């Protein structure tokens, strides 16, 4: 789902099980591959698709990283506003590209500060996922491929068909008791801890 608004459909009714208590999960991402990996992961966790809202950078309209960074404070403010009345979550995804995960973490933190937002707290359901080099690196790694964080894998034509199974492996490595293998790249290993913020 693509939308430029942070407003969510009204009429949601809380269900009895744990995962349905999260009424709205916003996925702020650069592109559809990022959004789909997180969406499939959330569905594997037991969340309903109707409660997952994708906010993706418009295609062909500049930097996806800039889109995510500039809208991150808006998403955090929206999450904090909504979380008081009902359970909400925010998943933020942006590629490190040729930079580092830490550089992009600092960029997001600076964007929060510039918007007069408090830093992200440990208990908040705000997850920051920063694949290096790209989300394709994570998808291939989750699919059992040996990859590195400097090669550009965007052109691999197998990627789209790998996303859903990779999301299942993402769940297994982060929640299902299966240990990530030694070949797991560092940014993904960090992402396994980050994604647990979403429940």
Mean pLDDT, rounded, for 174-194 = 93
The listed CATH number (3.40.1350, 3.40.50, 1.20.58, 1.10.15) that belongs to domain 19-198? 3.40.50
pTM: 0.88
Query: How far is Cα 122 from Cα 43, in angstroms, rounded to an integer?
Result: 23
Contact 35, 91 (CB under 8 A): no
Model confidence at 53: pLDDT above 70: yes
pLDDT tens digits, 59-84: 876 699 999 999 999 999 999 998 87
Task: Please count the residues of the chain.
Answer: 199
Query: How far is Cα 107 from Cα 102, in angstroms, rounded to an integer?
Result: 9
Contact 55, 71 (CB under 8 A): yes
Query: How far is Cα 46 from Cα 49, in angstroms, rounded to an integer?
Result: 9
């Amino acid at each position: 789902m693509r939308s430029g608004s942070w407003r969510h459909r009204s009429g949601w009714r809380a269900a009895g099980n744990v995962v349905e208590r999260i009424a709205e999960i916003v996925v702020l991402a650069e592109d559809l591959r990022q959004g789909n990996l997180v969406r499939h992961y959330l569905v594997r966790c037991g969340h309903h698709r109707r409660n997952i809202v994708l906010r993706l950078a418009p295609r062909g309209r500049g930097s996806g990283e800039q889109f995510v960074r500039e809208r991150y404070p808006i998403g955090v403010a929206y999450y904090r506003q909504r979380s008081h009345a009902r359970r909400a979550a925010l998943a933020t995804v942006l590629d490190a590209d040729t930079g580092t995960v830490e550089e992009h973490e600092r960029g997001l933190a600076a964007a929060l500060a510039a918007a007069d937002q408090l830093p992200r707290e440990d208990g908040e359901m705000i997850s920051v996922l920063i694949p290096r080099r790209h989300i394709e690196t994570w998808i291939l790694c989750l699919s059992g491929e040996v990859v590195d964080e400097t090669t550009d894998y965007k052109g691999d034509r197998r990627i789209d068909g790998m996303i859903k199974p990779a999301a299942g492996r993402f769940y297994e490595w982060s929640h299902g008791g299966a240990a990530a293998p030694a070949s797991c790249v560092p940014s993904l290993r960090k992402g396994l801890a980050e994604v647990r913020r979403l429940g």
